């Protein structure tokens, strides 16, 4: 039975389909471990919008918890000097009243609160500007408490605010085994400082 299970797991992981280079690579830096039940999201945002429709992306997204960086939102864990500053992304896709964004010096990092998540082909996008790049790590937590850290690739910023490419991963087969409970992201600034704003995820997992 143990031998059969090992073969099944190997076959399932081997069957994972990789997306484009801008999307996440499943087998890069897979680090299983234990996480606390506190990493489960307390609520699931189901307010759907189409923030990237002007850029020919008509998918429906929900805001990652605290992803607008406006006062009153859930806090992100930060290190290396990352902080919220005045100045919103220039398109104001969430609200014309928004006034803040995230400043990340080179070498700094942030971790989002956990988001509800349904196994399948998800994608995450945000807005960025600056002189560096943003490395994205995807943190997938299972109902059994296993945490897998996946490489989401690198997003280049520029001199003006622009939407990131779609950062996505087909995790249907792996999610079926791990019984995915939540997903969060770690953003790391490299090569220079960057500004990040309006971080969105598609799809969501209803409670």
pLDDT tens sequence across 195-205 = 999 999 986 54
32: number of Cβ within 10 Å: 10
pLDDT of res. 123: 87
Mind giving me the DSSP string for 44-95? -----B-TTGGGT----BEEPTTTT--TTSPPPEEETT-EEEE---TT-SS-
129-188 confidence digits (pLDDT tens): 999 999 999 887 776 777 778 888 999 999 999 999 998 765 544 444 445 667 889 999
Q: Which two tokens stand for residue 18?
A: 């990789």
Task: Give the pLDDT confidence score for residue 105 in this predicted structure.
Answer: 98
**Using one digit for the tens of pLDDT, what is the confidence trace for 4-40?**
333 233 333 333 333 333 434 332 233 333 333 445 5
Q: In this structure, which topology does domain 2-202 adopt according to CATH?
A: Jelly Rolls (2.60.120)
User: Distance between CA 90 and CA 128 in Å, rounded?
Assistant: 10
Q: Which of 59, 52, 15, 27 shows the shortest CA–CA distance to 204?
A: 59
């Amino acid at each position: 039975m143990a031998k059969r299970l090992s073969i099944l797991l190997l076959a399932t992981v081997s069957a994972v389909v990789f997306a484009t280079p801008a999307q996440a690579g499943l087998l890069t830096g897979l680090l299983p471990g234990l996480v606390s039940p506190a990493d489960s999201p307390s609520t699931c945002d189901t307010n759907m919008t189409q923030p990237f429709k002007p850029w020919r992306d008509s998918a429906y997204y929900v805001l990652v918890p605290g992803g607008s960086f406006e006062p009153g939102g859930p806090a992100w864990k930060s290190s290396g000097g990352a902080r919220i500053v005045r100045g919103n992304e220039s398109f104001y896709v969430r609200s014309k009243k928004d006034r803040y964004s995230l400043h990340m010096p080179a070498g700094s990092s942030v971790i989002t609160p956990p988001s509800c998540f349904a196994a399948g082909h998800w994608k995450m996008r945000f807005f960025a500007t600056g002189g560096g790049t943003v490395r994205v790590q995807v943190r997938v937590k299972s109902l059994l408490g296993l945490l897998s850290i996946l490489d989401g690739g690198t997003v280049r910023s520029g001199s003006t605010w622009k939407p990131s490419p779609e950062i996505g991963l087909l995790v249907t087969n792996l999610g079926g085994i791990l019984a995915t409970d939540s997903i969060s992201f770690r953003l790391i600034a490299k090569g220079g400082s960057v500004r990040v704003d309006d971080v969105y995820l598609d799809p969501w997992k209803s409670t």
